[in-house]
Structure 1
Amino acid sequence: MINKLDQFSILAVDDDPTNINVIVSHLKPLNAKMLIATSGATALDIIKAKNPDIIILDINMPNMSGIEVCRTIKADPKNKHIPILFLTSSETDISEAFSVGAVDYIIKPVRPEELIARVNTHLTLGTLVESLNHANAMLESVNENLEQKVADRTKELVSVNVNLRREIDERRRLQDKLSYLSNYDFVTRMFNRTSMETEVKKVLDRMLTKEANYYFLFIDLDQFKVINDTCGHIAGDELLRQIADLLRSLFSKDDIIARLGGDEFAVLFTIDTLEHAIRRTSAVKEAIESYRFEWGEEAFKHSLSAALVELDASIDSVSHLMSIAERTCFESKRKGGSELSVYNYTKQHIDKTHQQMRIIPLIHQAIENDNFTLYYQKVTPIVEESEIKIELLIRLIGIDGKIKPPGQFIPIAEKFHIITEIDKWVLRKAFVAIADMPDNVEFSINLSGDFIAKSSAAELIKQYVSEFNARPSQICFEITETSAISNLESTQEFISSLKPLGFKFALDDFGTGTSSYEYLKKLSVDYVKIDGMFVRDIDKDDISQKMVESIAGIAKAKGIMVIAECVETMESLDILKKLNINYYQGYYDHHPENLSNFRP
């Protein structure tokens, strides 16, 4: 946590002026110089001219996404030191964000305490890195000077031998000092953040051997700023030294203790169970909060906010652990301080992950051995028409020959990014079937967000059209609202590339997003499929009925046909007819069955 800095600059990048205003308002207490950009191109110009200290970057922007902006920034060696924090409404893009150089992310809507804490954390880290770089530059300069001196003194070695030895000793002392400063905190004489991260990485690297149960304790002193403001920074440094000595007395010599920066400390320790780890942490908390810090005639007591994290295979990197610890500690702060929050991956969650991992080989085998099969469900018009609509549904044939519904394997395929291969399998089989169908049959095919996001997706479909002699006018691609929102730019490009060929598009599960109507305006779709959670109880829930009525009204105003999913009763269908819905789909009319049974 930064206690006092010269004025620094923050660049906020978001295409939405409202979001920009929110960020600027939240960061006002930092008294920073705010730089504003509403596009990626503008942001790059500002960075070139102003060189900000930190960048807060929206991940989803038109024309040039936050990912592209970050990649461009980091490509310039002059900008590699600038920390970039991403703003996002979904965690699905976070892994890619880190891969292009981001140091952290903040979930929308932005909470002011979290935003300030994250900015402070990375500004502090940047200050420490700058100090280390400066120290390294000093060392390099000293080395160059001394080497030159050695060369000069060699000519008169006998007369200046005593001075030369003295200079060599001076260099060695400086090297030792700089080496110490790069690994230890100057104020507390304990490990610094860099050293702690090195030790954590060692533990994570050997986590598979499970030599011991490791726990990471993150400590943030509450109201530390009171000491600095009332007694001065000398008193603040003395308090930190005394807290460091107290922590040393509470842990063994084998435990790793560090000051991460500001008033934040961390301990990496081993103990047999989580229960005992919580007990030890509670004892540490009690000891620190009972400690009296005396300065002059005044005495102070401090409370602390703490986070305890159990290390396990779910934590895949040092930055992941630090992010978890900081967020968990933030929960303690949010509760008013003087709290201990515990984060641990439960055995139940780990067992669930292991069960999911066992499904992955079955999915690969199904792709290789053609162990999937296609089902279909009718999409029935409210008003009778000559065209026949069906939705294709995939099923997995298990080793025992039993049919597995999509809920047992599709989420796992999406989580481990093998869903694209399933999409390709469905497309090939569907295009073969469509080629033999009459012209009045329309097939709806579901596509995943991963598939649509690939730049080659549209070209692959065009290839399949040619290869299987399929007719685009008989094909409607269904894209879920959440996938479309997550990959808005890719979805728009995908639709605009294929729509001129005659393909139709449906926005599936509509109504589950946070800004549904806004995205309905941005996407050129032919159908909207209202999510079943609104339709299923439409005959019993007035709110659901109003939602369906609203969605239908907006869609029809834009010339979009409306399909209601999950229709299970005659009463529901009667209401949908009154609302002038175009099509319905559900168990009331048809239970899914194998595509081989379909007769136009």
Structure 2
Amino acid sequence: MSKTSEQSLTAPISAAEVNDLLAARILIGGTRLSDLAFLQTMLSLSGFTNITTANGPEKLMQVLRQTITDDHCDIDLIILDCRLGDCNARELRLKLDQFDEWRLIPVIALTEKSQWNHNQLLTDLGHGVTSLLYRPLTAEALPPAVMTTLAIKRERDHYHLRQQQIEDENAQLRVMEARLQFSVNHDDLTGLANRRRLEQALDITLTQVRNFHTSSAVFYIDLDSFKVLNDAEGHEAGDTLLVQVANSLRGFFKVRDTLVRIGSDEFAVLVDTIDPETAVARAEGLRDLFDGYSFTFHDHEYHLSASIGVKCITEANLSTVGEILSHANQACYTAKKRGRNRVHVYSPADREMYALRHSVEWAPRIRAALKQENFILEFQPIYSLKENKINHYECLIRMRGQGDKLYYPQDFIPVAEAMGLIHQIDLWVVSHAFELLRNIPGDIALAVNLSGNIFLDKNLYPLVERKLLETGVDPSRLVFEITETSAISNFDQTKQMVDSCAI
């Protein structure tokens, strides 16, 4: 190949790539044996090693058909003599387009110089002719054109291969996304919906009750004595039982009902378009089903029962999604308190709820503690066995009461979560952790446990940014810990906030 022809390539290529191009299979179609021999000789002298000739259009098509193997054609380029008779460039391209294996084969058309026709040129190029060369052909014209066309085809093949790879990767990503979306809304063990999905369904139910004057019900189911079985036989037995219970619920309720595993041994079912009387009857039928249920594991037989709370949703007692689930849970709690293996319909007058409502008194105490700085931090060292030293300290929040009394998280955190005060406590902990880090040696790091939805709070990032500037603390000295379930349930918001906090 001449220096001029090398410069005509669109990009530098290696010697190995040049050898690959020279080994490409080229099919020459014509009607004169002398012309075919001339073209083959010219290309052979230029280094091309895999050349096939076809004398006449029938032979050309025969060679093409013979080259299809496993949905692939090994012809890399067709050189077409326009004196091929009734098989011109347009007709050849129409035939090539009949098969996917032929569609991407480039075509170089050879024509007489005296036959220049602008309109015909546009027609040929429009039907897939890659190059148009005029006679008489020279070694300075044909081999460079062939090399350039093959190089372009190589890049195009790489492009199509990459496009296919991208499509395959996107398909895999869509499958993974669908699986992730399913896992976000469903329980891994039983395949039932989870609390998040139930809340979404309840939103729709409330709209239907409000606008169409229907009624619905939530059944909250707690398996009595499940802990006894789980502790005696292990988690394998417990998981097996939970799967069987889930299948029993599927058989008892209708397909359109929303079946949920809401806790370790707790299930919930949302039934739309059901009146309160029918809901109670259905709950009693479900209780009877569990009362007669036995479970055998390793030759040990266990008899089950269930406490069922019912929350009726009517136009007269509309409330929020959170309140509905809370009421259903309270009704189940009352059923268990009254002896288990029974059904109880929620009523705000239930005496068992008095003790629970008493926790509401904690809300003003928590607000006062935030305002009056009555929270304190205690620190638990985390020891590294590998490094044989304290790795970091975990911050533990406490609340001061009257006198020297200290309240632990289990005393006030559940109330704070229920009353919407938990994020204020989170922000207090973060702020005071920064202030503490400013005043202790730089090799000490702290870890703070934050509530699951803290990354949805738009005040977190500005606080962290401000405290970093004020204190000059190395960000790596402070670790935020949240549960994986909460992070996945709000994946987009969590990722956005984590990216923002990666200062």
Name the TM-score class by shorter chain: 0.3 to 0.5
TM-score (norm 1): 0.31
TM-score (norm 2): 0.36
